Each structure stands twice: as structure tokens, then as C-alpha cells.
Amino acid sequence: MKKGWKEIWSGHDGGEVGLPSFGDCERAVMDMESFLARLRVLAVDDDRVCLKILETQLRHCKYNVTAVTRAEAALEMLRARKDGDQFDLVISDVHMPDMDGFKLLELVGLEMDIPVIMLSANEEMETMMKGIKHGACDYLVKPVHLDRLKNIWLHVVKKSMNDPRDHISGANDDASQKRQSGDAEDEKNGADDTKKHSRKNKKDGDDPEEDSENTSTQKRQRIQWSADLHRKFVEAVHQIGIDRAVPKKILDVMGVDGITREHVASHLQKYRLALKKLSLGTDKQSNPCPAGTESWRRDWNYINMNGLASSPSALGTHRLLHSQSVKPISSQRSLGIPVRDMGPAGNGGNLLNAVVHDVSNVTSGNSYGHISNGGLPSGSGPSGSYIENIRNRMVLDADRSFPFAISGNSFANMSNGTQPLVPGLVSNSLKGDVLSMFPGYGPSQGNNLKINQLSGIAASSGQMTAIGDEIQNRMAALKGKSTPVVDFSEQMAPFNLGNYTSVPINNSALASAPTIRSALPDIQIGNLGMLTQMLNGGGANVNVLDEKDGTSKVYQHATGDLVGTSEAQNQMGGDLDDFFIDGLI
């Protein structure tokens, strides 16, 4: 188990998420497996081959998998399970004939609010960015390695940690009652997406009356802006007039106990900024709500909720996150939360920054920390122009066509405590590969992502695909450390079965261990010395000791047919992956 794993689990007490609490690592491992087995993953891919492989990979990771080839079918299943036994995570291909993957992504985010991981053979930055913009919590490029799937459970945990515990009144009955009234509210408001709020309302459903109990005891009580409360707020604002609405007046008009002027002030600020954002023009298609108030409200809920996210746990989670989530920096801006301006009343906002900043410091150094603070350029330091450009580009995109509802989603994810990293540079798979380009990269270099070099490369090559090619090159070279791949291929002759003398095949005929993809059939596992010798152009006859019956078999083979990765190489490849990940934490 990696360090920090325990931190996540300790201190959690089952609660609504159903996470066990652990005293020690051993119990933790067993509970972990049962936790994973309870995680329901829905895999969607129209390609049967990909789907079959994905399904099997997920099963190997111990998840509880359901696989479908059609997005429509997936949606049906998701909708059918809204009242119970819902999936915890969706993994979906981007390009599907019956429904665009992005569309599915949006719908799942709106209706069920489950984390969605996008999958695609397409590794173009734009597509990846599009995925994140539409609310994907991660984007994996096919073909997907088993390793990438092992830790997807983190997305589930992150998301559920982001939902507020019922600190305030405690009783779940109350919460569910609130939900019912909350749902009723939604229906009255005529929103299509009642369901999407049912979960939120359940969490937010605390009455202001209940809050008042605690206001006196706690200094700064975080207010859950329930549907009801917000409605009162909006009514008050309109009554007073948006231009003349000051917190004090609003508070008076609302006539609600248990909230303070400060609460109203911060809420008002967000409201104003959101209105401003809305007036810039939103994507109507993905925002079915009138004036976006519903989804907007959900966003604020996320902000409030984030205040409750316990930092150390979030950090712990984030440290382990294998494939990182890509968060558009601009989403923060588009929601108009200029971090610095939050003022004393902005509990949620400040905490958000605190969490994000802390997290970013832990994982990848200060440059990201700066970026996460609302994209303020000061002291971005080595991040240089490349990241600034990306950020600026994203902001421009955001203003133009950033669907408001969706930005809420991504923002919500961001408020989970993962820092918004530069898209395209971010997913650990790519990051690991990119880092492999730098000879001498080592764990000691740790968090320093050498943004300079990255930006230099980006600038010179101009396109990620070119980088991708180069990366593959280096990676290959690295994988073939003991026997250079390039030399190898020169020795390569086209595949020719006929060169092998047929020898009675017995037990050990297929002696190669799965990790030895050697051309020498009778090599015993671990017989690397001989292997290397042969691979380096050894003779035509190979005498190999047959372990099973103790005889020596003779194989004839054509020199130069020796292709493939030795166990060492495969091992190396695998180890390198770990190597990179460790270096990143």
C-alpha cells in the first residue's frame, strides 16, 4: 500500500458513503477489496473488442462491472437505478454511433451526477479538453493499460467526499424529508432536471431553522443554500432591486433565522457574478434551466460543500490519484470567483483555495499552485508562456462557448481538492511519458515538473502529436535499455514460422513466461543470461535444458528472427511506470 493510503480511510466513519473505517493496514486491504467489489462501474463502448477488453480489465481490478455497447442502453440503466443500486462510475468511449460520448457525459452529469471517465483512441488535446469541459473527471487514451484502471475508484471517493456530511442536524430522516420538499420545489419551478437536484437537496436540505441552533455555538456556520433558501434570497433581491440590494436589506426581507449578513453577502456576490456570467451568453443547449438558476445553484452548493472537505484527506486522496483529473483553469474564472476578492465572508471560497493550493503544493509544485489561485499570473515563475497561453486560451473559450451548466460540473470537481492542471499536460499517463523524455529524470527531482522544458518542447514542436511520437520513441528506447530496440529492429526479419525445427513439444515447450516475449521457445524462465546472448546475435543452435524431463533440446532458428521484449524489458517497462508515478507524487 502506498503511503498516505491510510490517511484517507482513517477518520472516516462509514456514514452515508458506506466507507469502512480502518484501524490497520491489513484489515484495510481486505476491506479495500470488498469496497472495490461493491463499486459498480458502467462501461460503455460501441467497439466490442475494446469493450470486452475493458470489461475484463476492470474485473481484474476487482470492480463490479456492467458493460454495454450502446449509449442509449447505458442511459436507460442509469435512469432505472436512480432510486437505488446506482452505478458509482461510468467509463465511456467518446466516439459512438448512436450518441456522442460528450452528450452522454453531459446527461450523466446533469441527471445522475456520477463521475464519468472518457475513453478515446483520440489523443488530440482539443478532444481531451472538450472532455474535461463537458465534465469528465478524467480522460484516458486507448489502448488503456490495466494500471490506469486500478485507481479509478479514487474518482468515486473524491466525489462522495465532496458531498457535505450532515454536520448540522444529523438526522437522516430530516434530510430525506427535505429532499421531498426540495423535489417538490423543483417540480414547481418546472425544471426538467429535478432528479439532478434530489441528491443535492438531500445534502443541502437543512432548514435555516436548524442552522440557527448551531450558529450561536459555532463562529462561522457554513450555510447550505437550499432551493428554498435561495428562492427566498432571489425574491428578496428582486423585491429590493438588484442594484439596491445590500446584504443587510436582503437579510431583512428574507426574514429567515439562522443566517447572518455575512452569509448573505457572500451569496450575493456569487449571485451577481453568476448573473454577469449568464449575461455573457450561455450555451442554451446544455443549459436547459431557465436563466440557469438551477444549475447555478448547484454550483454554489458545491462551493459550500467544498468548505467541508477535510483537507488532509483530500490531500491523501490526491496523492494517490494515478491518472489525474484535468480541470480547466478558466472554470474558476468563469464562475467569477476572483479568489482574492472573496473577503471575510467567503468561507467556502477561501477554503476552496486553501484546499486547492495545498493540494497543488503537495503534488506538483508551486507553479501549479499559482495557477490554481484563479489563474493569477504573479509568480507563475517557470510556468512561462505555454501555460499562460493555455490558460488564456481556455478563458477565451470559456467566455465564448463555455456551457454554464457544465462549468458548474467541472468546477465542482475542481473543488474536490484536485488542482486544476494544464490540460493536455495533465493526465499522468501523458505526464509520465513526457517526463520520460528527460534523461536523468529521477525521483529526487520530485515535484518539479520542469515546466520550462515542457514549454520549450511545446513551443518548438507546436503540436502534441509530434511530441507524442517523440515520447513513444524515448519510451521505447527506455524500455529497451538492456538491448537497444533500434538495433533490435535491424535484426528483425519478417515473421517466419518455418524457421523452427519442429521439436516434440512437451510441457516446457512453451516455456516462455508471459513476461518473456522471447523468440526462443525453450528458454527457461529466468534464463536471461542465455537469452541476452542469443538476442545479441547468438548462434543458430540453441541448447536448452528442459526442466521437466532433464533432457537437452536443440532448437534451430534463423538468426535475426529475434524480436521482442525480454522479461527484463517488460519488467522495466512496468517498473518505469511505477517509477514515474512515484516521482510525481
Minimum distance of another protein from residue 446's CB (angstroms): 27
Nearer to another protein, 51 or 73 (CB): 51
Instruction: Match 536443440 to its residue by C-alpha cell.
Output: 554
Minimum distance of another protein from residue 386's CB (angstroms): 23
Minimum distance of another protein from residue 57's CB (angstroms): 6
Give the CA distances from residue 524 to residues 163, 209, 416, 515, 548, in Å, rounded to whole numbers and listed in that order. 54, 74, 50, 12, 10
Mapping DSSP to helix (H, G, I), strand (E, B) and coil, where does residue 221 land? coil
Minimum distance of another protein from residue 40's CB (angstroms): 20
Nearer to another protein, 50 or 451 (CB): 50
Nearer to another protein, 89 or 475 (CB): 475
Nearer to another protein, 269 or 565 (CB): 565
Minimum distance of another protein from residue 545's CB (angstroms): 15
Minimum distance of another protein from residue 164's CB (angstroms): 40
Minimum distance of another protein from residue 508's CB (angstroms): 6
156 close to 113: Cβ distance less than 8 angstroms = no
Minimum distance of another protein from residue 150's CB (angstroms): 13
| DSSP code of residue 248 | H
Q: Which long-range contacts (CB under 8 A, 24 or more apart) does 208-211 make?
A: 208/256, 208/257, 208/258, 208/259, 209/257, 209/258, 210/168, 210/169, 210/174, 210/258, 211/168, 211/258, 211/259
195 close to 277: Cβ distance less than 8 angstroms = no
Give the CA distances from residue 339 to residues 353, 419, 514, in Å, rounded to whole numbers and listed in that order. 7, 14, 53
Those residues whose C-beta lies under 8 Å from the C-beta of residue 79, and which sit 6 or more positions away, are 111, 112
Please give the grid coordinates belonging to residue 372. 490554481
Minimum distance of another protein from residue 54's CB (angstroms): 8
Minimum distance of another protein from residue 127's CB (angstroms): 11
Nearer to another protein, 441 or 500 (CB): 500
Give the CA distances from residue 582 to residues 6, 30, 211, 431, 439, in Å, rounded to whole numbers and listed in that order. 17, 24, 44, 12, 16
Nearer to another protein, 19 or 476 (CB): 476
Those residues whose C-beta lies under 8 Å from the C-beta of residue 388, and which sit 6 or more positions away, are 377, 380
546 burial via Cβ count (<10 Å: 0-12, 13-18, 19+): middle
Nearer to another protein, 401 or 496 (CB): 496
**What CA–CA distance (Å, rounded) separates 115 from 138?**
9
**What CA–CA distance (Å, rounded) separates 380 from 6?**
33
Minimum distance of another protein from residue 429's CB (angstroms): 13
Nearer to another protein, 201 or 512 (CB): 512
Nearer to another protein, 18 or 504 (CB): 504
**What CA–CA distance (Å, rounded) separates 264 from 240?**
14
34 close to 14: Cβ distance less than 8 angstroms = no
- Which segments of 442-522 does DSSP mark as H helices, in order? 451-461, 464-479, 485-491
DSSP lists the bridge partners of residue 19 as: 14
Mapping DSSP to helix (H, G, I), strand (E, B) and coil, where does residue 117 land? strand
Q: Are strands 541-545 and 552-556 parallel, antiparallel or unpaired?
A: antiparallel
Nearer to another protein, 141 or 245 (CB): 141
566 close to 482: Cβ distance less than 8 angstroms = yes
- Give Cα 409 to chain centroid, integer Å: 13
Q: Which residues bind another protein (CB under 8 A)?
A: 46-50, 52-53, 56-57, 60, 93, 95, 120-122, 142-143, 145-146, 469-470, 472-473, 475-477, 479-480, 485-486, 488-490, 492, 494-497, 500, 505-519, 521, 525, 561, 563-565, 569-570, 573
Q: Are strands 552-556 and 116-120 parallel, antiparallel or unpaired?
A: unpaired
480 close to 568: Cβ distance less than 8 angstroms = no
Minimum distance of another protein from residue 562's CB (angstroms): 8
Nearer to another protein, 337 or 475 (CB): 475
CA-based R_g, the chain, Å: 27
Nearer to another protein, 489 or 559 (CB): 489
